[in-house]
Chain A
Amino acid sequence: MRYKFLTAAFAATVALNFAGPAGATDLEVTHWWTSGGEAAAVAELAKAFDATGNHWVDGAIAGSGGTARPIMISRITGGDPMGATQFNHGRQAEELVQAGLMRDLTDLATKDKWTEIVRPKSLLDSCTIDGKIYCVPVNIHSWQWLWLSNEAFQKAGVPMPKDWNEFVAAAPALEKAGIIPLAVGGQPWQASGAFDVLLAAVGGTDAFLKVYKEKDAKFAGGPEIAKVFKAADDARKMAKNTNVQDWNQATNLVITGKAGGQIMGDWAQGEFQVAGKTAGKDYACLPGLGLNEVIATGGDAFYFPLLKDADKSKAQEVLAETLLDPKTQVAFNLKKGSLPVRGDVDLNTANDCMKKGLAILAKGAVIPWTDQLLSQDSQKQKEDLFSEFFAKPDMTLEEAQKRFAGIIASAD
């Protein structure tokens, strides 16, 4: 799988090298989009950029964002910046901006009226530091999805649940049929993300914001959040037999009907598509776990390091404009399985689940995601806590909640 991608990426790079017109400005773009669907999506961006007469030099870094980000950051801080780089918009690049290493895009943004075209507005807000815009959002990825396997529920002889509570009630029947009710892989971010989704769904939007935005530690230790921990305890019990690590292996359990469901972001949809499954027939999706239909506006954005080379700086502007171009947005997001960042584009070919997401987006039921609200440091502490919580059945809810409140108290 990985070799296939590497070969494909390599082939793409080589092909691009020959395709580039003479005299074009080379711009190296680093990113961590390395699975099959992701690589296809990046190729769309490269194609659009090359069409402007410049040349996209692909700098894919294998491994996930966790592996890629340290490499990108050390290149920027070490004085060997690339032309442009992917980050999740939010606070990952905050300090690089504060240290003056990233390029201010405010002029370009005013000229092209980004504030009017980018939707929802919070996307651009998380690119803005001290009133200046530093990144170009390219897509919206939301975590709030429960993916369910029709096959598993048929086998267990229970109807498909319509929300989280029905799902929990159906768990004993699934277990009896030898099916893992909920698949949660062993990577720490999966457990932590699942909890955040439960917090927004069971606790509600206000509770979510009170904990992560206002960082109200007293509230985080209080009775309302205790309800969320109760739900997390249900999830922990339902997930206890998942012996896989990676998220796509966990998704695969749902695809093959070995697990009833999975709480995972909309990128899981790519896996269902690759496996040839149809939304509504083979699998179902419940945004906001069916309880609170909101979408978090996490996602990817491109940042542009400050360069001395005038030609390259010019090419950066062209790339920024290309990324927000309606045509690029459609081509890229259809392949990526994510939602476009502008509301005025047409996504007729989107599937059922994507359409559900678009409808929620149109209603404006959006919340900021933890990438935007918390520093990486607090995120990591949260991951440590929840990976321990999910792996250790004897960890009490009180203890977990106390530690959670402690993290929120010191969060920044």
Chain B
Amino acid sequence: MSNSERPNQLFRNLNAKVASIPMILTALVVFVGGTAWTVLYSFTNSKLLPRLNFVGLDQYYRLWATPRWLVSIENLLIYGVIALVFSLVIGFVLAALLDQKIRFEDTFRTIFLYPFALSFIVTGLVWQWLLNPDFGIQRVVRDLGWTSFSFDPLYNSSIVIYGISIAALWQGTGLIMCLMLAGLRGIDEDIWKAARVDGIPMWKTYLFIVIPMMRPVFITTLVIIAAGIVKVYDLVVAQTSGGPGIASEVPAKYVYDYMFFAQNLGQGFAASTMMLLSVVIVIVPWAYLEFGGKKRG
């Protein structure tokens, strides 16, 4: 009988399959199930407790008519562009400089990476003090004699998001630098030698040979930075609590505030569904190009 000779596919590697059941369940129930549940309830008028009382797209209409949500989205875009561009550029430049076989490399690496050991809450508090006009940088410069010097980003609605971005860059760039450095170290010495023999200037070697070779590292880095951007919450809470006014609000804070403070689950779910949607819109085309392309090729 063919069945006894060739056991059912389902029972091959049974141990491995049994062992992975908890993770599969977690993924299905917690991630997929939780997401589906959230999306479903975002179409209801649930207040403090979830209730299946459908109101169609009302929560979404309200969301997109709320000035605070629009400010949050705008802030996330500004913060995202700054965090992405500057942490990549600064991280790569620092890594390239460290890669020049300088002395005390370990010391520098430790110094640059150190802020990453602090949580966003601590980072936020430190920078709240540094940027406070009465105690921080502005005060120090004024005490040195420049009495008209003014630097108070956290108290100025139009630039507060940049004040938050500075703190985020200070905290996160060290990690990006380390990832880049690891990538640079992975480049074969012979490539450098070949480039030197051909008389290619160093900056050109970096730009046209090394960076294209570091593509996998860049993609990993990009995913790490992007995930950090969308979920930014604690930094804002610690630094400004969304103020002055609503000038530094971010989407994650909107979700939290409306779910728990305003006791309006439906509105919070609608906002979190929009966050998910924005991530999906970015990820899906990229994943398609990245993985779909490979299978064909």
Q: Are B245 and A391 neighbours in the complex by a CB distance under 8 Å? A: yes
Tell me whether A53 is interfacial, beta carbon within 8 Å.
no
Describe B's contact surface by its main secondary structure.
loop
Question: Nearest chain-B residue to A403 (Cβ)?
Answer: B67
Residues of A within 8 A of B68 (CB): 384, 388
Among listed B90-98, B100-108, B256-264, interface-contacting one: B256-264
Question: Nearest chain-A residue to B132 (Cβ)?
Answer: A243
Q: How far is the CB of B65 from chain A (nearest CB, A)?
A: 9
Residues of B within 8 A of A403 (CB): 67
Q: Are B134 and A243 neighbours in the complex by a CB distance under 8 Å? A: yes
Q: List residues of A (76-131) whose CB comes within 8 Å of B's CBs.
A: 77, 92, 94-96, 99
Q: List residues of B (225-262) whose CB comes within 8 Å of A's CBs.
A: 241-247, 257-258, 260-262
Q: Are A377 and B267 neighbours in the complex by a CB distance under 8 Å? A: yes
Q: A243-B133, A391-B247 are in contact. Are A377 and B157 (CB under 8 A)?
A: no
A245 to B154, CA, bound (A): 12
Residues of B within 8 A of A69 (CB): 260-261
Q: Are A95 and B264 neighbours in the complex by a CB distance under 8 Å? A: no
A403 to B78, CA, bound (A): 26
Tell me whether A223 is interfacial, beta carbon within 8 Å.
no
Q: Are A380 and B258 neighbours in the complex by a CB distance under 8 Å? A: yes
Q: List residues of B (248-292) whose CB comes within 8 Å of A's CBs.
A: 257-258, 260-264, 267
Q: Are B47 and A391 neighbours in the complex by a CB distance under 8 Å? A: no
Question: Nearest chain-B residue to A243 (Cβ)?
Answer: B155
Q: Are A391 and B263 neighbours in the complex by a CB distance under 8 Å? A: no
Q: Are B49 and A387 neighbours in the complex by a CB distance under 8 Å? A: no
Tell me whether B182 is interfacial, beta carbon within 8 Å.
no
A391 to B264, CA, bound (A): 25
Question: How big is chain B's contact interface, by range?
Answer: 20 to 34
Q: Are B49 and A99 neighbours in the complex by a CB distance under 8 Å? A: yes
Residues of A within 8 A of B47 (CB): 95, 375, 377
A243 to B134, CA, bound (A): 9
Residues of A within 8 A of B258 (CB): 377, 380
Residues of B within 8 A of A389 (CB): 245
Residues of A within 8 A of B245 (CB): 387-392
Q: Are B49 and A186 neighbours in the complex by a CB distance under 8 Å? A: no
Residues of A within 8 A of B49 (CB): 77, 95-96, 99
Q: How far is the CB of A390 from chain B (nearest CB, A)?
A: 7
Q: How far is the CB of B67 from chain A (nearest CB, A)?
A: 7
Residues of B within 8 A of A73 (CB): 48, 263
Interface string of B58-87 (1 = CB under 8 A from A): 000010001110000000000000000000
Q: How far is the CB of B46 from chain A (nearest CB, A)?
A: 10
Question: Nearest chain-A residue to B128 (Cβ)?
Answer: A245
Q: How far is the CB of B37 from chain A (nearest CB, A)?
A: 15
Q: How far is the CB of B14 from chain A (nearest CB, A)?
A: 37
Q: Are A380 and B262 neighbours in the complex by a CB distance under 8 Å? A: yes
Number of A residues with CB within 8 Å of any CB on chain B:
30
Question: Nearest chain-A residue to B48 (Cβ)?
Answer: A95
Q: Are B241 and A377 neighbours in the complex by a CB distance under 8 Å? A: no
Tell me whether A187 is interfacial, beta carbon within 8 Å.
yes
Q: How far is the CB of B196 from chain A (nearest CB, A)?
A: 56
Residues of A within 8 A of B257 (CB): 380
Interface string of B123-143 (1 = CB under 8 A from A): 000000000111000000000
Question: Nearest chain-A residue to B46 (Cβ)?
Answer: A95
Interface string of A50-65 (1 = CB under 8 A from B): 0000000000000000
Interface-centre pick from B48, B157, B267 (highest chain A CB count, 10 A): B48
Tell me whether A370 is interfacial, beta carbon within 8 Å.
no
Tell me whether A292 is interfacial, beta carbon within 8 Å.
no
A95 to B266, CA, bound (A): 14
Q: List residues of A (171-202) whose CB comes within 8 Å of B's CBs.
A: 186-188
Residues of A within 8 A of B244 (CB): 186, 391-392
Residues of B within 8 A of A384 (CB): 66-68, 246
Q: A96-B48, A243-B133, A392-B157 are in contact. Are A376 and B241 (CB under 8 A)?
A: no
Q: How far is the CB of A406 from chain B (nearest CB, A)?
A: 9
Q: How far is the CB of A307 from chain B (nearest CB, A)?
A: 19
A99 to B242, CA, bound (A): 33
Q: Are B67 and A186 neighbours in the complex by a CB distance under 8 Å? A: no
Residues of A within 8 A of B62 (CB): 410
Q: List residues of A (389-412) whose CB comes within 8 Å of B's CBs.
A: 389-392, 403, 410
Tell me whether A66 is interfacial, beta carbon within 8 Å.
yes
Can you list 23 A-B pairs, Cβ within 8 angstroms, ordered by A? A66-B261, A77-B49, A94-B48, A95-B48, A96-B49, A245-B241, A375-B47, A376-B48, A376-B263, A376-B264, A377-B263, A377-B264, A379-B262, A381-B66, A381-B262, A387-B243, A387-B246, A388-B67, A388-B68, A388-B247, A389-B245, A391-B244, A392-B244
A-B complex: 4 closest residue pairs judged by Cβ atoms: A391-B245, A380-B262, A391-B244, A70-B260
By a beta-carbon cutoff of 8 Å, the part of chain B in contact with chain A is 47-49, 62, 66-68, 132-134, 155, 157, 241-247, 257-258, 260-264, 267
A sample of 19 more A-B contacts (CB under 8 A), given A95-B49, A381-B262, A390-B245, is A73-B263, A94-B48, A95-B263, A99-B49, A243-B133, A243-B155, A376-B263, A377-B47, A377-B258, A377-B263, A377-B264, A377-B267, A384-B68, A384-B246, A387-B245, A391-B246, A391-B247, A392-B245, A392-B247
